[in-house]
Amino acid sequence: MAPLLGMSEQYLTMQKSFMEDFQKVFTQVANGSLPALTDRRFSSEAWQKNPQLLSLAHLYLLSAQKISEMVEHLEMDQEAKDKLVFSMHQWLDAMAPSNFFALNADALATFEKTKGESLQKGLHNLLQDLQKGRITQTDESAFEVGGNLAVTPGKVVYKNAFFELIQYAPQTESVYEIPLLIVPPCINKFYILDLQKDNSFVQGAVEQGHTVYLMSWRNPLPNDIDQPEQYTWDDYIENGVLRALQAVTEISQKDKINTLGFCVGGTMLATALAVAKARGIDYANSMTLLTTFLDFSDTGIMHVFVDEASVALREQTIGLGGLMPAKDLATTFSFLRPNELVWNYVVNNYFKGETPVPFDILYWNADSTNLPGPFYAWYLRHTYLENNLKKENYLTVAGESLNLALLDMDTYLYASKDDHIVPWKSAYLSNDILTGDVRFCLGASGHVAGVVNPPAKKKRHHWVNEYEYDDGYLSAEQWLEDAERQEGSWWVDWYAWIAERAGKQVRAKKTLGNRQYKPTVDAPGAYVKVRAVQ
């Protein structure tokens, strides 16, 4: 009974504090001394000029804070508590006064200023989005894949049912002799790494003198006659990453190449290289993993979506055939940050009748891909749910016993400090799995913006740690405590690291591919232009 009594006392204290703060708001309203709010949803001049709605915003934030405190003090199973906290925050964010036209001071002021035209435009925007089946987050008319996105020059030199292999044209007189293969995630399109010329990771690597190859994954559609909805994780490893590794080594005539994987692409790359190692083939001179899970013991907020019941449902519905729709994945990721990626656009697009500003990353974010059901169900169970990839010789992939400890090449691990999809401390755990020399770099910002950070922009910062412990780092916290903050892009640090592993400089070849791998269409190829059915 003692713990229960303690909790009762805590709630009584919170209740008393809430009533006192509640009364304070009313006193400030009566005195005309209600302070401005820093929360961007309620911080504009229109809110300051409307004391009634400003007081409502104060009371909302106060109530949300107290509800959050009460839930945080609940004594219950941690997994259930995490799901409750996530659901509660979804509900609290949705119930903000700013999300209701009649209670949004900004929307009302805009309505009055435009004599109702803003709401008329907003309704038009809403009808368009209902037809699309998603919220418009950017001016999509401002971008075209192959027009002003994914424009680094190159050719498709190989194609199968899973991917197109792009080889980029050299832009320097000489190039490093060891090429680089990039494996992007198949749950998004590759051009996040090749946006516009001034923020393209691919362009940057080519300008540094690397011969860059990149996999462009196919976007499977429901009416495809070869039934890609049957494809499995093993298929993607065997006919995808392993086939790309083989092609690059054969084109370059190098037994070993440098490799890079981003997010799920990094997980797939590590898996494929371990499968190849089990077969006695050592493809990788080095490996770079950007915001990648190998150890899924802490998946951050994503774990609230994955439990035995949800995975079993996916296995029953699409695990033997079918597609995981792109819009379902996109919606999930948007609601990880609902105020930024959902409600912000509800207010601006529908209440205020605004057109979103052009933003290439958000255009890419809306251009998502479908996934084969068997691939997706396998991935959920063996990574997020059971964390089986890191277990030595536990899984069989493409006919081989999987052991990631076979990966003894030099590895560059990059993580983003504010990443809500791959928490940086989880990315750091790959240190405990890989058996080669590892350099870890921690960048500022989130999952995508942290990665896409060209040096010329002179934005953000990153941390590196040159100190070596005899027995390795005990924890991610220890690493960060001893790390040195560097201003600017992490790309510069990676450029120096990869150059040391790229061999000598040789004269750049004018032709791409070879007799076996003949260049066909220009980059970015055909697969990347296929949009998921809305």
Average pLDDT, the chain: 94
For the range 29-38, what are the long-range contacts, defined as Cβ-Cβ under 8 Å and sequence gap of 24 or more?
Answer: 29/55, 34/58, 37/61
- Determine the straight-line distance between the first and last CA of the chain, rounded to whole angstroms: 55
Greatest pairwise CA separation for the chain in angstroms = 83
Structure tokens, 286: 């080095």
**What per-residue confidence (pLDDT) applies to 78?**
86
Taking the C-alpha atoms of residue 215 and residue 193, their distance in angstroms, rounded to an integer, is 11
Task: Using DSSP bridges, classify how beta strands 163-168 and 154-159 pair: parallel, antiparallel or unpaired.
Answer: antiparallel
Instruction: Give me the residues paired with residue 485 across strands.
Output: 463
**What per-residue confidence (pLDDT) applies to 483?**
95
Taking the C-alpha atoms of residue 190 and residue 187, their distance in angstroms, rounded to an integer, is 9
For the range 73-76, what are the long-range contacts, defined as Cβ-Cβ under 8 Å and sequence gap of 24 or more?
Answer: 73/7, 73/10, 73/11, 73/14, 75/3, 75/7
Q: Average of pLDDT values for 449-458?
A: 95
Is 86 within 8 Å of 52 (Cβ atoms)? Answer: no
At 21, the pLDDT band (50, 70, 90 cuts) reads confident
**What per-residue confidence (pLDDT) applies to 227?**
87
The alpha helices in 208-325, defined as continuous H runs, are 233-236, 242-252, 264-278, 308-317
Q: What is the dihedral of CA 369, 372, 376, 378, to 10 degrees?
A: -160
**What per-residue confidence (pLDDT) applies to 4?**
41
Q: 178, 410, 434: which is closest to 286 by C-alpha?
A: 410
441 as an active site residue: the answer is no
At 469, the pLDDT band (50, 70, 90 cuts) reads low
* Cis peptide bond N-terminal to 524, omega within 30: yes
Whether residue 3 is predicted with pLDDT greater than 50 in this model: the reply is no
Structure tokens, 135: 């919220």
**What per-residue confidence (pLDDT) applies to 533?**
67
Whether residue 5 is predicted with pLDDT greater than 50 in this model: the reply is no
Task: Give residue 130's region: left, alpha or beta (phi > 0; psi -120 to 50).
Answer: alpha
Q: Average of pLDDT values for 353-367?
A: 94
Taking the C-alpha atoms of residue 127 and residue 270, their distance in angstroms, rounded to an integer, is 44
Residue 317: half-sphere exposure toward Cβ, Cα within 13 Å: 10
Instruction: Give me the residues paired with residue 219 across strands.
Output: none
Whether residue 359 is predicted with pLDDT greater than 80 in this model: the reply is yes
Taking the C-alpha atoms of residue 55 and residue 108, their distance in angstroms, rounded to an integer, is 16
How far are the Cα atoms of 19, 166, 214, 293 from residue 528, in angstroms, in the given order?
Answer: 56, 11, 12, 25
At 513, the pLDDT band (50, 70, 90 cuts) reads very high
Taking the C-alpha atoms of residue 81 and residue 203, their distance in angstroms, rounded to an integer, is 45
Question: Bigger pLDDT: 125 or 75?
Answer: 125
Whether residue 470 is predicted with pLDDT greater than 70 in this model: the reply is no
Question: Bigger pLDDT: 305 or 271?
Answer: 271
Taking the C-alpha atoms of residue 294 and residue 270, their distance in angstroms, rounded to an integer, is 8
Is 352 within 8 Å of 98 (Cβ atoms)? Answer: no
> Which entry of 25, 181, 257, 263 is annotated as an active-site residue?
263
Whether residue 33 is predicted with pLDDT greater than 90 in this model: the reply is no
Local structure of residue 145 (DSSP, 8 states): B
Q: Indicate the SS3 state at residue 487.
A: strand
Q: Average of pLDDT values for 188-206?
A: 97
Taking the C-alpha atoms of residue 86 and residue 302, their distance in angstroms, rounded to an integer, is 10
Helix and strand numbers, DSSP H then E, in the chain: 19, 16
**What per-residue confidence (pLDDT) applies to 333?**
84
Is 378 within 8 Å of 385 (Cβ atoms)? Answer: no
Q: Indicate the SS3 state at residue 514.
A: coil
Residues constituting the chain: 534
Phi, psi (rounded to 5 degrees) for 501: -120, 15
CB-based burial of residue 511 (10 Å sphere; 0-12 exposed, 13-18 middle, 19+ buried)?
A: exposed
Instruction: Give me the residues paired with residue 462 across strands.
Output: 443, 486
How far are the Cα atoms of 129, 183, 261, 284, 491 from residue 367, in angstroms, in the given order?
Answer: 14, 18, 20, 31, 25
**What per-residue confidence (pLDDT) applies to 327?**
87
Taking the C-alpha atoms of residue 150 and residue 247, their distance in angstroms, rounded to an integer, is 22
CB-based burial of residue 91 (10 Å sphere; 0-12 exposed, 13-18 middle, 19+ buried)?
A: exposed
Give the global pTM: 0.93
SS3 string, 160-181, reads CCCEEEEEECCCCCEEECCCEE
> Using one digit for the tens of pLDDT, what is the confidence trace for 101-119?
999 999 999 999 999 999 9
Task: Compute the radius of gyration of the chain from its Cα atoms.
Answer: 26
At 329, the pLDDT band (50, 70, 90 cuts) reads confident
Task: Give residue 138's region: left, alpha or beta (phi > 0; psi -120 to 50).
Answer: beta
Whether residue 422 is predicted with pLDDT greater than 70 in this model: the reply is yes
> Using one digit for the tens of pLDDT, what is the confidence trace for 370-405?
999 999 999 999 999 999 999 999 999 999 999 999
**What per-residue confidence (pLDDT) applies to 1?**
38
Q: Which residue has the tokens 């169970």?
A: 381
